[in-house]
Amino acid sequence: MPTELEKWTIFTGPWSASYDYSPQSPIPSPFRLLSPPPLPPSSSTFLPPSNGYRDIFGEAWILHPCLFDIEMQIDIKGGSFNTSKKKSGVFVKCIKLDGTVQVVSKRSVQNNTVPYQSVISFHNRLKPAMEKRLMVVARNLCHIGKYVRQIHHFYQKEQTEENHFLLVKMVDRWGLTEEIGDERFEIHPNDLEFVKETSEEWKFAKLLLKGLREEFSANPVETQPGMTDPYGILT
């Protein structure tokens, strides 16, 4: 019999689950055996932000259930949907339809199914120092599926783009307007993807976070020796 992880990560075309995921039939978390082990109280070892736990879905990252129905800006490599010559990429989302999970791109009023194997990160990557757009954590097991916005940035170990990190604030988008969430944490740009938002939503969020960003802008951009928390969570 396949393990829980195998059930979640075996795909043939659009992903079709072979068992019931409904709330009436709860199943153990497929990630419980992959969660980072708790650190002993005396330990001073910190987990790096990029580690094996973040890549459990590998190239099929967009099929993670925490990303369902989130419209993300990505690129498509090859095939009839190829966006290699399209500056703005394309917005897609993962949906559950007729018992299968599909990646779709909406053009006009029609949903077009996109092979998940063709989905790659948007080529125009975010800039930690200036980014103000809405993002979602797409490749970090501790935070995957959380909406975030940048409030500050820093370097880890040395001042290179590879080591340029963001300090982000989680935002809540379940209500009529966006609200500031409870968490803020450190994360690498490669763990994030842009989310579709309107210009009005962007302007509202800019005002919402203005005071918090100004508070952090008074601090110098630091070069840190490593993560300040084993799971990247600050508050």
Pick the more confident residue, 90 or 34: 90
pLDDT at res. 226: 62
Reported as a single tens digit per residue, the pLDDT across 138-177 is: 998 889 999 999 999 999 888 888 899 999 999 999 888 9
pLDDT at res. 1: 59
Q: pTM for this one?
A: 0.72
pLDDT at res. 100: 81
Residue 128 pLDDT greater than 60, yes or no: yes
pLDDT at res. 22: 39
Pick the more confident residue, 20 or 69: 69
DSSP per-residue string spanning the chain: ---HHHHHH--SSSEE-SS--STTS----TTTTTSPPPPPTT------SS-GGGGTTGGGGGG-GGGBT--EEEEE-SSTT--TT-TT-EEEEEEEETTEEEEEEEETTEEEEE-GGGEEE-SS---TTT--S-EEE-S-TTTTT-EEEEEEEEEESSSSGGGEEEEEEEEE-SSSS-EEEEEEEEE-GGGEEEB---HHHHHHHHHHTHHHHHHHHTSPPPEESS-SSTTSB--
Q: Rounded mean pLDDT of 125-136?
A: 93
pLDDT tier at 108, thresholds 50, 70, 90: low
Residue 93 pLDDT greater than 90, yes or no: yes
Reported as a single tens digit per residue, the pLDDT across 21-79 is: 333 333 333 333 333 333 333 332 233 344 434 455 677 899 999 999 999 999 999 88
Least confidently predicted of 8-22, 109-123, 131-145: 8-22
Q: What percent of the chain has pLDDT over 70?
A: 71
Reported as a single tens digit per residue, the pLDDT across 178-220 is: 999 999 999 999 999 999 999 999 999 999 999 999 999 888 7
pLDDT at res. 21: 38
Pick the more confident residue, 95 or 42: 95
pLDDT at res. 211: 94
